[in-house]
Amino acid sequence: MTQCQNCSTPLSGPYCAQCGQKHNPKIPSVLGFLGEFTEAFTHADSRLWRTLGLLLVRPGELPKHYFAGQRAQFLPPLRLYLLVTIGFFLLLSIDARISDSEVDTPLIEVKTEQPSDEGGAEQTQPCDVQYSGPAQDYLLPKIKRACEQALNDNGASLSQRFVANVPKGMFVLMPLFAATMMLWYWRPRRYFMEHLILQVSNHSAMFLVGSIVVSLEWILPAGLHGPLELAVLPYGLFYCVTSLRVYYEQSRVLSWSKFGSLMIVYGLLLILVLVTTGIASII
């Protein structure tokens, strides 16, 4: 009886029912290897595009499919979020570097000529920062170094650290906001994971739209950048409200009323997370 080479389970077909590995006892040829690669790539590609298409045009549908058990044809929510988020912040980083390269001289340059032991040299003027709060001995030197560095490089390094830390802050923001949503959707009873997966889906959609906007701004005239960015706002509002109405199956009026109050809570949480992220980026 033929057994799986990976887990030794008896085979009843070309694929193992236990681990899913395809039975192929021969050493693969170059053409066979390329064929497996093409098959795996096209399969993942079709699932990716199916997921992204549904994510953009059908708000709230991906979480419904996920909790209905229809998961094989779509990317898992967390994998989708990581993929979209990494792509978005990578594009932002590239865009920021392109913008920096177009600036000939820094906007801020704080230097002063002071005599030194070797006969006089330029020295960086230190920042006059006052701080007397908790952990002063630990935080004050870090704040001063960050301030001096920001003055010398026009804030480029601080901006890069902040952008790199924002995704970590979003991982804190989404569970916090999902927990508060339980107060708005307690009848009928909803589980925390339902709110969290919906927020993961909504944030994935917004980051995906942001990636599209950044990419389009590279090829479109500068005069179209403003209208393009303004168009994102009504799309985001419509998307979020529709996702609430579709997933929780409530009326438009009730969905809009809950959305308004939820956005106040989301805005406060977002400010808290961004301020905390900024402080972490400085120290």
Per residue in 165-182, pLDDT (tens digit) is: 888 888 899 999 999 999
Q: Is the pTM of this model over 0.85?
A: no
The reported pLDDT for the residue numbered 129 is: 66
Instruction: Read off the amino acid at residue 3.
Output: Q
The reported pLDDT for the residue numbered 206 is: 94
Nearest to 27 by CA among 46, 51, 5, 2: 5
Nearest to 77 by CA among 180, 170, 207, 200: 200
Asked if 9 and 18 count as a contact pair (C-beta separation under 8 A), the reply is yes
The reported pLDDT for the residue numbered 2 is: 83
Its sign, for the CA torsion 6, 8, 13, 18, is negative
Helix orientation angle between 252-282 and 136-152, rounded to the nearest 10 degrees? 90
CA distance 108 to 111: 10
Average pLDDT for 19-35: 77
Confidence of residue 122 (pLDDT cuts 50, 70, 90): very low
Average pLDDT for 151-167: 77
The reported pLDDT for the residue numbered 113 is: 43
The reported pLDDT for the residue numbered 259 is: 95
CA distance 127 to 150: 10
Average pLDDT for 76-91: 89
CA distance 203 to 89: 13
pLDDT above 90: residue 192 = yes
CA distance 26 to 13: 16
Least confident residue range of 10-19, 133-142, 249-258: 133-142
Give residue for tokens 């009886």.
Answer: 1
* Average pLDDT across the chain, whole number: 82
pLDDT above 60: residue 125 = no
DSSP class of 74: S
Confidence of residue 99 (pLDDT cuts 50, 70, 90): low
pLDDT above 50: residue 121 = no
pLDDT tens digits, residue range 133-143? 676 677 777 77
